A = this chain, B = another copy of it.
Amino acid sequence: MSILVVGSVALDSVRTPFGEVKEALGGSATYFSTAASFFADVRVVAVVGEDFPEEHLAFLRSRSIDLWGLKRVPGRTFRWTGEYGFDLNDARTLETQLNVFAEFHPDIPEAYRESELVFLANIDPDLQREVLAQVRSPKLVAADTMNFWIDRKPESLRETLRSVNMLLINDAEVRQLAKEPNLVRAARTILDWGPTSLVIKRGEYGALMVREGGWFAAPAIPLDSVFDPTGAGDCFAGGFIGYLANTMNFEEANVRKAIVMGSVMASFNVEAFSLDRLRRLTYPEIESRYKAFRKLAHFEDL
């Protein structure tokens, strides 16, 4: 089944204690679609400028990602510059140049409007609704958001959430959005606003899914070589939604597997800068790491 993703395609300059890259391939739609491409067909709606390197488009095409909805327009591509300290948790944004992204309004090609799964990356919630107004009865709408939109457009975000089935969000943002320090109560508040599932990303601590049926805690695999956390959340989303698109089974047991697959994809991505680890990733490696997650988290009944 096909996934439609709307988000950013960017050039990132990133510094971590382990090195740096300049104007490397980045952006939420890029990370998401590359991770999801291991499992399903992905269609990208995004915008780049005239300066966007052809080799990056060639890479995305090599992953069989449909770029019909990726517009190239006059101007410069969206650029992000950030750095991470030793704990590799929060990124410190040094510079954001919106460039062609400032005037971006998603225009969903006719052929994309029947997509079964839609992923709204962490763009302006107004734009997220513009996407939803153009698609026809998708089976699953998943959305990401970030502290920037929770601060600036909380009402618009609440409006978008009414039409979202699954919200992917980190734990600080859950508390911020619900204005409630207790995670359980905060999650329940947000579920009252529309989504049927909340997938709470917790970085090195894994992920937590909340749905009516209960909670699922997925571990994160301890890694001895984390080079760059940029894009980990989008790779998580790509593995998660990609696996759901591949199986089209939204029952609890399968959604749990999908969450773990998201964690698997994120765990690979942080092992190198930009998309470099995913470029050389193979499906047997994915299966093998999924098994490592099983071994990590398994324990028996009393």
Contact = CB atoms under 8 A, between A and B. Distances in A.
Contacts of A257: 299-300, 302
A298 to B, nearest CB: 8
A216 B295 CA distance: 8
Given A181-B86, A202-B205, A206-B217, A256 B222 contact: no
Contact of A224 (B184, B291, B295, B299): B184
The CB with the most chain B CB atoms within 10 A, among A202, A217, A298, A301, is that of A217
Chain A: interface residue count, which band?
35 or more
A256 B219 CA distance: 15
Interface string A192-211: 00000000001011101010
Contacts of A253: 299-300
A111 interface: no
A217 B297 contact: yes
Contacts of A184: 222-224
A290 interface: yes
A88 to B, nearest CB: 8
Copies of the chain in the assembly:
2
Interface of chain A: mostly helix, strand, loop or mixed: mixed
A294 B290 contact: no
Nearest to A17: B181
A206 B296 CA distance: 13
A272 B204 CA distance: 29
A183 B222 contact: yes
B256 A300 contact: yes
A277 B302 CA distance: 22
A181 B225 CA distance: 11
B185 A224 contact: yes
A299 B256 contact: yes
A287 B301 CA distance: 10
Contacts of A204: 183
A199 to B, nearest CB: 14
A181 B226 CA distance: 11
Contacts of A220: 217
Contacts of A222: 183-184, 187, 208, 210, 215, 217
Contacts of A224: 182, 184-185, 188
Interface string A216-240: 1111111111100000000000000
Contacts of A218: 299
Given A182-B224, A183-B204, A184-B222, A217 B302 contact: no
Given A184-B222, A224-B185, A299 B215 contact: no
